[in-house]
């Protein structure tokens, strides 16, 4: 299948650990590009997950690449086992004992796999300086490592993702920047705009009742859309793949309406739009639906659209009243 540039690595951290074979089969069928396996030792991070044996068990169950993310204090001691288990890439943390970093990356490279270095949110990218040329993956953590389901740290992404590319100049083709932590449909467009190569997505995919395949496709499409925006100097690329704007609302209402529409099986893409400014200084979000189901969406949700327009008006008024802002300043329509 022809695809854009962004890839989704499915993190199995929040899958059912008692049925990993099923989780792997399911995620592959639903369109995962690769797997991201979080190894934790209860020491480098306050959580304990799986080791090389689990990876060895997973290896014959999928043809997709396996990325090991080692959140362990002593990677040198066990890296050979992870390589023998069949990992395609092994990423270690730059915060471990410095004496271990160069030899560990060297062993990964010698085994013909991709070596990676990861930075925790508070670690500056400059921590990677001494190891230039020794790694082909920069894994930017946008949550504190240890657990799935935490919120995305946008400032960290903005500061590091694009800048991380500078560390891969020795491998312009194979070098990859990965983003890990809190990545979902809300953050995908943003990190795509920073030209990230691999989006690690975990907890949202395993949530009960989620359509995993749709979620993966949406994250990938949004990341590509973000990238296109960037190439186009921030303007929407034309055409937007036959998606049409169904509604424009303040972000929190847009996301709620999106869920309601999606519950009926219609895919929605929420995008930072060109609509009106709200009193909080943020423009309305566009809710896009495929052109092929535009009339169906209108038919189904005409009344909801009016209800949301009412809610939006009330929210704007309330915001203005609470913050004492002048409405004409902030509610002027955007120049078209």
Active site residues: 38, 180
Q: Could you say whether residue 116 binds ligand DX5 (CB under 6 A)?
A: no
The DSSP bridge pattern shows strands 243-249 and 283-290 to be antiparallel
Q: In 129-142, which positions are buried (b, 16+ CB within 10 angstroms) versus exposed (e)?
A: eebeebbbbbbbbb
List residues bridging with 21 in a β-sheet: none
Nearer to Zn ion, 7 or 272 (CB): 7
* Interacting positions 121-180 with Zn ion (CB under 5 A): 180
Q: Could you say whether residue 49 binds ligand DX5 (CB under 6 A)?
A: no
Q: How many CB atoms lie within 10 A of CB 3?
A: 12
Q: Are 40 and 49 in contact (CB under 8 A)?
A: yes
* Minimum CB–partner distance for residue 181 and ligand DX5 (Å): 5
Binding mask 13-42 for Zn ion (x = CB under 5 A): -------------------------x----
Q: Could you say whether residue 181 binds ligand DX5 (CB under 6 A)?
A: yes
* Minimum CB–partner distance for residue 8 and ligand DX5 (Å): 11
Q: Could you say whether residue 202 binds ligand DX5 (CB under 6 A)?
A: yes
Q: Could you say whether residue 183 binds ligand DX5 (CB under 6 A)?
A: yes
Nearer to ligand DX5, 203 or 248 (CB): 203
Q: Could you say whether residue 69 binds Zn ion (CB under 5 A)?
A: yes
Nearer to ligand DX5, 9 or 261 (CB): 9
Q: Is 197 left (phi over 0), alpha (psi -120 to 50) or beta?
A: alpha
Q: Is 211 left (phi over 0), alpha (psi -120 to 50) or beta?
A: beta
Binding mask 293-312 for ligand DX5 (x = CB under 6 A): --------------------
* Minimum CB–partner distance for residue 335 and ligand DX5 (Å): 38
Helices (DSSP H) in the chain: which residue ranges? Answer: 20-29, 52-58, 75-84, 98-110, 154-164, 188-193, 203-206, 212-231, 251-263, 294-323, 327-330
Q: From the list ligand DX5, Zn ion, none, which binds 236 (C-beta under 5 to 8 Å, kind-based)?
A: none
Nearer to Zn ion, 6 or 179 (CB): 179
* Minimum CB–partner distance for residue 106 and ligand DX5 (Å): 24
Q: Could you say whether residue 67 binds Zn ion (CB under 5 A)?
A: no
Q: List Cβ neighbours of 317 (8 Å cut-off, separation of 6 or more).
A: none
DSSP structure class, residue 41: B
Maximum CA pair distance of the chain? 66
Q: List Cβ neighbours of 158 (8 Å cut-off, separation of 6 or more).
A: 190, 194
Q: Could you say whether residue 272 binds ligand DX5 (CB under 6 A)?
A: no
Residues that bind ligand DX5 (CB under 6 A): 11, 13, 36, 38, 69, 143, 145-146, 148-150, 180-183, 200-203
């Amino acid at each position: 299948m022809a695809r854009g540039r962004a890839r989704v690595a499915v993190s199995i951290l929040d899958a059912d650990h008692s049925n990993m074979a099923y989780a792997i089969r399911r995620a592959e069928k639903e369109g995962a590009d690769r797997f991201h396996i979080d190894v934790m030792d209860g020491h480098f991070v306050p959580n304990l997950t799986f080791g090389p044996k689990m990876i060895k068990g997973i290896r014959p169950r999928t043809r997709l690449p396996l990325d090991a993310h080692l959140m362990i204090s002593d990677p040198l001691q066990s890296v050979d086992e992870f390589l023998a288990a069949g990992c395609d890439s092994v990423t270690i943390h730059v915060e471990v004992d410095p004496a271990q970093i160069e030899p560990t990356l060297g062993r990964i490279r010698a085994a013909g796999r991709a070596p990676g270095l990861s930075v925790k949110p508070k670690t500056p990218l400059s921590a990677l300086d001494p190891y230039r040329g020794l790694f082909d993956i920069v894994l930017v953590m946008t949550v504190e490592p240890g657990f799935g389901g935490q919120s995305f740290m946008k400032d960290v992404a903005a500061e590091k993702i694009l800048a991380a590319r500078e560390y891969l100049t020795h491998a312009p083709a194979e070098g990859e920047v990965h983003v890990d932590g809190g990545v979902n449909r809300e953050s995908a467009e943003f990190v795509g705009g920073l030209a990230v190569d691999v989006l690690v997505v975990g907890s949202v995919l395993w949530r009960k009742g989620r359509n995993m395949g749709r979620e993966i496709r949406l994250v990938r499409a949004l990341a590509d859309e973000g990238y296109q925006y960037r190439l186009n100097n921030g303007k929407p690329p034309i055409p937007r793949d036959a998606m049409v704007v169904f509604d424009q609302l303040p972000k929190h209402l847009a996301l709620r309406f999106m869920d309601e529409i999606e519950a009926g099986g219609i895919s929605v893409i929420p995008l930072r739009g060109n609509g009106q400014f709200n009193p909080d200084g943020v423009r309305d979000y566009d809710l896009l639906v495929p052109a092929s189901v535009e009339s169906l969406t209108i038919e189904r949700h005409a009344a909801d659209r009016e209800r949301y327009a009412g809610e939006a008006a009330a929210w704007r008024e309330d915001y203005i009243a609470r913050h004492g802002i002048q409405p004409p300043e902030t509610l002027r329509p955007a120049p078209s």
